[in-house]
Structure 1
Amino acid sequence: MSVDLVVFDMAGTTVLDDGLVERAFRRALPDAGEEQVRYVRDTMGQSKIVVFRALLGEETLAQRANAAFEVAYAELVAEGHCAPVPGAVEVITDLRARGVKVAFGTGFSRATQQVILSALGWTELADFTTTPAEAGRGRPYPDMVLAAVLGLGLTDVRSVAVVGDTPSDVLSGLRAGARVVAGVLTGASSPEDLAAAGATHVLASVRDLPAVLDLPERP
């Protein structure tokens, strides 16, 4: 069975964000301790509002901190701290030229996702984009992968590949039933972390993805 859809994570997978998540978190919560910062690192890939709820334990505080985080992240992107992972655009363009659908998922809100896509000139790069709020739940739940499957009209999750840089990305792909769940080393996690989460492949970067996929010929 060939791959019909690849669902890519963004920050750390297709986008080199230069540590922006942690930097934006420190701007949003300047008094945060190292234990809180460590929790942010450990939950990379997950919905940011869920992370703030876990850290702060109160909805109003979590919403306020998440809003500050979104503003800080957008400011950092606008300052130029955002670039594609080398080879990512070429891989995605080739996939689509072969008739393979491409989707972007993220732990950010729709507004922040759009800031990143606009900054990179990627607003038309993928066939489908989604966020935790739109899909239902964020990673490690399978909702964003399944939202892409449904939104693009696929009939079999076994024709899906999922690519991300965190154990949460890997778990999301496995729980969705994807046939290929690849972890990449351009982001937050070690090879051991990704393998322990159950990644079917651990790759240096998305540039290596085509070699592990059963792809249709280019027309």
Structure 2
Amino acid sequence: MSDQQKSSFFGAWPVAVSAVIFDWAGTILDFGCIAPVAAFREAFTRTGVAISEAEAREPMGAAKREHVELILAQSAVQTRWLNQMGQASTQADVDRIYEAFLQIDAAGSARYSTLIPGALETVSALRRRGVAIGSTTGYPRSIMDMLMPLAQAQGYCPDHCVTVSEVAHGRPWPDMPLANLLALNAPDVRGCVVVDDSPSGLLSARAAGMWAVGISVSGNEVGLSLDDWNALDDRARSDRRDAACRALRNAGAHYVIDSVADLIPVIEDIEQRLAAGDQP
């Protein structure tokens, strides 16, 4: 047991961050969280009931089958479903759309698997500090078995990955961050940091008693590819960033940053706060 672990077990505050737990799409790879949105929209289009990008994005962070249910629960979507199908959606419809989503998303994984600029540099800096790297995702293991090798080929390989199919509850419950903590042998939740672009992921971090860092620009709340983001003028960028920051802070983010590239100063600030006796 390290000195840090001993001090934590005997009641002292942790003085350093021991683990950082990253989300995937919109946080580490897939700038703009494009892949799941495109797959949800295509899956619904195949039923004959199209959905907008905003409707697809609204439940982001949830387990993907639950995400389908939450899209169907939106009043405008359900109204269109009733008009097209002549009856309310059923669990059989949810199953059918979810299976289509998995097939579409698996086929599109490579297209949207590019790491977000600065991700590798940030992870390397964390490893030099002795920080363990965990990860959580609303994808089931079947999708991650295809996505993780694509990330590894680019140099990203977390120490542990917990998928929503491996826990009793997905976000906003604390199950996935806590499962990472146990797998990574992190000595204290107060020294763990969750980095996520979805409000439900930040709620999960807070429920687990961890620091919550929201990702605004590269994530679902802005929802633009890197090229589309770069094409905006300064005023449009500011407006979109501000709206994203509000949503993430309302979900409990202790910090909000543009992308994972901006994380290290936050880690340093958290460690200063831990040393002063602060807690998440």
**TM-score, scaled relative to structure 1:** 0.89
Identify the residue that residue 159 of structure 2 maps to in structure 1.
Answer: 127
Q: 2:124 aligns with which of 88, 93, 96?
A: 93
Larger radius of gyration: 2
Separation (CA, whole Å) in 2 of partners of 1:52 and 1:10: 19
> For this pair of structures, how many residues does the alignment match?
213
Greater percentage in helix: 2
The 3-state SS of whatever aligns with 1:7 is: strand
Q: Say if 1:53 and 1:62, in contact at 8 Å, map to a contact too.
A: yes
- Given candidates 133, 140, 150, the residue that maps to 1:109 is 140
Runs of 4+ in 1 over 6 A off after TM superposition: none
Are the counterparts in 2 of residues 26 and 32 from structure 1 also a CA contact under 8 Å?
no
- 1:167-203 Cα distance to aligned partner (Å, 9 max, x none): 111111111100x211012111211111111211010
Q: Deviations over 1:100-142 (max 9, x none)?
A: 1111111111111222211222697111001112022111111
Aligned residue in 1 for 2:27: 13
Q: Which amino acid aligns with 1:174?
A: R
What stretches of structure 2 of length at least 5 have no aligned partner? 1-14, 74-88, 222-243, 272-280
User: Gapped runs of 5+ residues in structure 1?
Assistant: none
Aligned-residue identity in percent: 33
**Conserved? CA contact 2:29–2:116, under 8 Å:** yes
Is 1:139 equivalent to 2:171 in the alignment?
Answer: yes
Do the aligned residues in 2 keep the contact of 1:141 with 1:172 (CA within 8 Å)? yes
Give yes or no for the alignment of 1:118 onto 2:149.
yes
Q: Is the 8 A contact 1:20 1:76 kept in 2?
A: yes
* CA pair 100-201 structure 1, distance change in 2 beyond 3 A: same
Distance 1:81 1:161 in 2: 25
For residue 41 of structure 2, what is the aligned residue in structure 1?
26
1:39 Cα deviation from its structure 2 partner: 3.7
